[in-house]
Amino acid sequence: MNIECDVLVAGSGAAGLSAAVTAAHQGARVILVEKAPVFGGTSCFSAGLVWIPGSRQARAAGIQDDPGAALQYLRGEGGPFLDEPKAQAYVQQAADIFAWFEDHTHVSYHLSPLWPDYHQGVEGASRGGRSLGANPFDARRLGARMAHLRPPLASTTILGGMMVGREDLVHYYGMSGSWPSRVVVGKRVLRYLQDRLSGHPRSTRLSNGNALVGMLALSAFERGVDLRLNTPVKQLLLEGDRVSGVLVQGVEGPYEIRARAGVVLACGGFPASAALRERYYAHVAAGKNHRTAAPSANTGDGLQMASQAGVALKEAQHHPAAWTPMSLVPQADGSDVPFPHYNDRGKAGYIAVDRRGRRFISESLSYHDFVPAMINACRDDAEVCSWVLCDSRAIRQYGLGRVPPWPLPIGSFVRSGYLKRGESLEALAQACGIDAAGLKQTVARLNAGAGQGIDEEFNKGADVYERFNGSRGHTPNPCVAPIETAPFYAVKVVPGDIGSFVGLQTDEHARALDAQRRPIDGLYVAGNDAASFMGGTYPGAGITLGPAMIFGHMAARHALQRQSAA
C-alpha cells in the first residue's frame, strides 16, 4: 500500500499539529503519523505556555514590547550559540502567526501579565507580558478521539485523573484562608465528579498542554487531517537530493507515503534515548543519574533519519536539554512517575539542600538553572539529588511536590516513602540521609533573617522573577519565611529534563540544512527535533511550545508555497 499526500507530518505534539492544521487550512491533503498509540507528544505533559513577544493580548493590556528588545534579550541569553536568522524571524513574526492560530483555529490563550522573563539581569528582559497561558478546553468536543489524547503525567493530576490548571493554582494554594478560592476548587471537583459519573476515565476539562493539544487536534480533525497512530516513520525517501516522502511501519506492515509538498519532522527530540542522553548529558556520561519527563517514544528517530539524509546536527549549545528537577512518585504497581518541580521551591518557607544539609542556589530561580547547580553541588557524590524541605505550616498551604495542600490528606505519601517527615530537623535529616548538623546550621542561618525577609546566603527573592515564584501576599519577601513549625517535611529531587535542545540544523523557514547550511529540498523540522535557536538556554516560560507552533506553521506555509511555485 503506497499513498500520496501534499504534506506528511511525523509527530503529533504542538509542532506537528500546528504544521498539519496550517497546511490543511490551505486545502492541502495532510497525513499526520504518530509512533505512539496516543497523540499529543511531550506537549501533553507541558504547562501549555507559549512565549510570544508583542502578542495582541499584551498590546490590549497596554504592554508595549518592541521586537528589538526581545531580540536583544535572546542575544544576551544565547550569546555565540544564538541562531540569529531564526531569532530575528521569531521575534518579528511570532505575534502575527499566533494571532492567525487564534483567528482560524480553536486555539485560545490568555495573557499572564505578571510572568516575567527568567533572567532579569539580561538586557531586554521583560518584567511581564511575553508568556501566554492556554484557556481551558472541553475534551468532549473531540468525541471518541478523546480516548486517544495522551493524558498528562499521572503525578500532576489529583483524585485519580483531575487536571489542575496553572490558572487555578492560586485557588488551590488559597483554600486554607479564602472562601472564594474554596468555591472555585469546589466547582472544579464537582465538574470532575460529573465527568467520572458520566463514564469518562479522567477529567474532560483540559488545562495546560493538554488543552493546547485538544484545541489543535480538533482544528486538525475538522479540516480532514488523516491521523495515523501506531505508525512510526522508519526512513526518509529520497529522489535525487530531494526528500519525497517516508517509509512507515503500519499496523499491517510497512508502506510508503509520498509527499508532494514536503515532509515535516516533529518527532520530539531524543530525551528518552539512553544512548543519546549519555552522549550529550555530561552528568549521565559521568555515570550519574537522570530522569526525563518526556514520553518513552521520544528516542531521537527524527534526528537519526535526517542525519542519514545529510541534515546537520547542531550540537554546540549552552545546555543540551531543558533541565527540570524531578521527584519520583511511587505508583501502586511498583513503578514511579516523575513530578516536575516548577512551583514549590520558590515559595516562602521552602529550601533545597544536598546530602550535607547545605543549600546550593536561590530556590526561586528557574528550574533550568536549578538542575546544573544541583549537579555541581553533587559532583563528588555517587548520586545527584537534593531535598526540597519545609515545615508543617508551609506544606498545608502550598503542598510539596506531588503532595497536595490542605484539606487533602498527605499520610499516603508518607507511607509510600515519597514524603519524609520528622518531628525535629534531626529526625528529618535521619529519614533523608542528610547530615543533621549541616541541616540545622542551614535552617538556623535562614531563620535568622527570615522574619525580616532577608536571605543572607542566596538573596532569595532578589528580583521580580524570583518574587513571582514566591508566595502571593506574603511580606516582606514572598520567597522567604522561617522553617520552624514541626513536623518538618522533605521530598527528594533528581536531575531531569522536559525535552532536548541539541537537534537538527534549520533555517528561518524551518527547512532542514546540511553542514554547509544548504536547504534539504522537501524536508522541514519543527519542535524538539530542531536545534534550540536560543542556544540551549531557557529565557522564559513557553520558549519550547511557542517556537514549536510558530516554526511548525512556517514549515507548512513554506512547503505549500514551494509546491505552488513548482
Same domain, 122 and 233: yes
139: helix, strand or coil: helix
Confidence tier at 566 by pLDDT (50, 70, 90): low
Residue 492's alpha-carbon distances to 119, 157, 287, 406, in angstroms, are: 26, 19, 19, 21
Kind and range of the H or E element at 96?
A: helix 84-104
Same domain, 391 and 491: yes
Cα–Cα distance for residue pair 503/271, rounded to 1 Å: 11
Name the burial class of residue 286, with classes exposed (0-12), middle (13-18) and buried (19+) by CB atoms within 10 angstroms of its CB: exposed
Report yes or no: 538 and 509 within 8 Å, Cβ to Cβ: no
Please report whether residue 294 resides in a domain: no
Task: For residue 493, give the CATH number of its domain.
Answer: 3.90.700.10
Q: How confident is the model over 417-466, as pLDDT tens digits?
A: 999 999 999 999 999 999 999 999 999 999 999 999 999 999 999 999 99
Residue 26's alpha-carbon distances to 104, 298, 507, 563, in angstroms, are: 11, 29, 23, 12
Please report whether residue 438 resides in a domain: yes
Same domain, 532 and 493: no
- The DSSP code sequence of 273-308 is -HHHHHHH-HHHHTT---EE-S-TT-SSHHHHHHHH
Same domain, 332 and 417: yes
Q: What is residue 407's predicted lDDT score, i.e. its pLDDT?
A: 86
Mean of the pLDDT values across residues 89-104? 98
Report yes or no: 276 and 290 within 8 Å, Cβ to Cβ: no
Is the preceding peptide bond at 113 cis, omega within 30 degrees of 0?
no
Please report whether residue 286 resides in a domain: no
Same domain, 261 and 335: no
Domain C-terminal end among 192, 207, 222: 207
- Cβ neighbors of 373 (< 8 A, separation 6 or more) are 360, 361
Cα–Cα distance for residue pair 69/57, rounded to 1 Å: 18
End-to-end CA distance of the chain: 27
- For the cut 80, the answer to whether the pLDDT of residue 367 exceeds it is yes
Residue 93's alpha-carbon distances to 98, 99, 151, 506, 561, in angstroms, are: 9, 10, 31, 17, 17
Cell of 280: 550529550
Domain C-terminal end among 441, 469, 497: 497
Same domain, 108 and 250: yes
Same domain, 373 and 426: yes
Q: How confident is the model over 238-258, as pLDDT tens digits?
A: 999 899 999 999 988 999 999
- For the cut 80, the answer to whether the pLDDT of residue 171 exceeds it is no
Confidence tier at 408 by pLDDT (50, 70, 90): confident
Please report whether residue 291 resides in a domain: no
Please report whether residue 242 resides in a domain: yes
Report yes or no: 155 and 337 within 8 Å, Cβ to Cβ: yes
Q: What is residue 157's predicted lDDT score, i.e. its pLDDT?
A: 85
Q: How many domains does the chain have?
A: 3
Q: What angle do CA 185, 186, 190 make, to 5 degrees?
A: 120
**Phi–psi pair at 358, nearest 5 degrees:** -105, 140
Same domain, 174 and 248: no
Task: For residue 545, give the CATH number of its domain.
Answer: 3.50.50.60
Mean pLDDT of the chain: 95
pTM of the prediction?
A: 0.95
Locus of grid cell 533545597? 352
Same domain, 10 and 74: yes
Q: How confident is the model over 300-357, as pLDDT tens digits?
A: 999 999 998 999 999 999 999 999 999 999 998 999 999 999 989 999 999 999 999 9
Q: What is residue 346's predicted lDDT score, i.e. its pLDDT?
A: 96
Q: How confident is the model over 504-544, as pLDDT tens digits?
A: 999 999 999 999 999 999 999 999 999 999 999 999 999 99
Cell of 308: 542519514
* 321: β partners: 500
Please report whether residue 342 resides in a domain: yes
Please report whether residue 275 resides in a domain: no
Q: What is residue 276's predicted lDDT score, i.e. its pLDDT?
A: 97
Q: How confident is the model over 34-85, as pLDDT tens digits?
A: 999 999 999 999 999 999 999 999 999 999 899 999 999 999 999 999 999 9
Q: What is residue 228's predicted lDDT score, i.e. its pLDDT?
A: 98
Confidence tier at 280 by pLDDT (50, 70, 90): very high
Mean of the pLDDT values across residues 131-140? 96
Residue 303's alpha-carbon distances to 107, 191, 510, 525, 536, in angstroms, are: 29, 42, 15, 10, 17
Q: What's the maximum distance between 2 C-alpha atoms anywhere in the chain?
A: 74
| Structural domain for 251, as ranges | 3-135+209-269+501-565
Cα–Cα distance for residue pair 368/356, rounded to 1 Å: 23
Same domain, 512 and 491: no
Please report whether residue 305 resides in a domain: no
Report yes or no: 401 and 388 within 8 Å, Cβ to Cβ: yes
Locus of grid cell 543549600? 359
Same domain, 264 and 352: no
Domain C-terminal end among 467, 497, 527: 497
- For the cut 80, the answer to whether the pLDDT of residue 177 exceeds it is no
Same domain, 451 and 487: yes
Q: Which of 95, 91, 58 is nearest to 72 (CA)?
A: 91
Q: What is residue 60's predicted lDDT score, i.e. its pLDDT?
A: 96
